[in-house]
Amino acid sequence: MGASRNFSRPARIAAIAPYLWMALFFLVPFFFILKISLSQTAISQPPYEPLFDLTQGLEGVKRAAAQLSVENFHLLLSDSLYVLSYLRSIVVAAVSTFILVLLGYPIAYGMSRLPRGWQALVMLAVIVPFWTSFLIRIYAWINILQRDGLLNDILIALKIVSTPLVWLSTDTAMYIGIVYSYLPFMVLPLFATLSKMDASLLEAAADLGCSRRQAFWLVTWPLSLPGVGAGALLCFIPIIGEFVIPDLLAGSSQMMIGQTLWGEFFTNRDWPVASAIAVILLLVLLAPLLVYDRLQRKQLEGRS
């Protein structure tokens, strides 16, 4: 730890590249958003009061600093509409991630136990949906879930129900859409973890008195937790900000934060509030990222 390490010049340049990328495409845009979130709406183009007018020199910057306002953030915390949107997003993301783990783990586990040739084929089956536009796939779900859609047709044909059920514009439809869309993001990291697991560990467990079920819970499951964590994060974070799926499949009574943000930005044309929503969302997402980072760091430290 903390030992001085010598890297070659090319290695140093290669190490800088990701930081440069992050600065250019994340930090700079984020700074713009942060700036707008501290401003006020105005009937102008763009629709907010400019903060920094460098043409007026130092005086202008000083005046701008005096005008900075956290009023938008006050609004977000005081109006239950926003707080409920955040909460709904977190709940939807958590429930979806939980379902994804339940569904994705057996799939990934089964894949990792297949012979090599079959693994490639099943992997292809997991990836193939990506070849079609995401939006088209969600519209296909609208088709399947509507009143005279495929799902109701099948349920009626199998005599499970006698009258068509309402699927569309419900939370169920939204969860179906989310789980369907994010399943590969859960399956792939899990598969990567499970397939590189040393088979002799399971033999050792059996040798030391474990039945197959015990060996799974005592060896396979704990060793696959990093994969579960990676898959869960890969799903949880984008689901929180999901806009298209709840907008097309869920009802309009409750909104996820992505929908609220969209409304503020396009319907209300309140860019500063929309930006403030985005800033808070980022802070909310930072929490699971930091937890995961900590866990990984702990693992790495254990290894060195």
Q: Which positions touch another protein (CB under 8 A)?
A: 198, 200-201, 203-211, 214, 218-219, 222-223, 302-303
Shortest Å, Cβ 297 to another protein: 15
Q: Which is nearer to another protein, 62 or 294 (CB)?
A: 294
Q: Which is nearer to another protein, 32 or 217 (CB)?
A: 217
Is the link from the previous residue into 46 a cis peptide, with omega within 30 of 0? Answer: yes
Q: Which is nearer to another protein, 11 or 208 (CB)?
A: 208
Q: Which is nearer to another protein, 18 or 222 (CB)?
A: 222
Dihedral over alpha carbons 40, 43, 27, 55 (to 10 degrees): -90
SS3 189: helix
Q: Which is nearer to another protein, 203 or 293 (CB)?
A: 203
**Which residues fall within 8 angstroms of residue 177, CB to CB, at 6 or more apart?**
138, 141, 245, 248, 249
Q: Which is nearer to another protein, 162 or 211 (CB)?
A: 211
Kindly list the distances between the CA atom of residue 137 and the CA atoms of 47, 248, 262, in Å, as whole numbers in the listed order.
35, 11, 21
Shortest Å, Cβ 226 to another protein: 10
Shortest Å, Cβ 49 to another protein: 56
> Is the Cα torsion angle 15, 17, 18, 20 positive or negative in sign?
positive
80-113 and 116-127 helices, crossing angle to 10°: 160
Shortest Å, Cβ 207 to another protein: 5
The two three-digit tokens of residue 7, written as one number: 């890297």
Shortest Å, Cβ 219 to another protein: 6
- Are 237 and 285 in contact by the 8 Å Cβ rule? The answer is yes
Shortest Å, Cβ 213 to another protein: 11
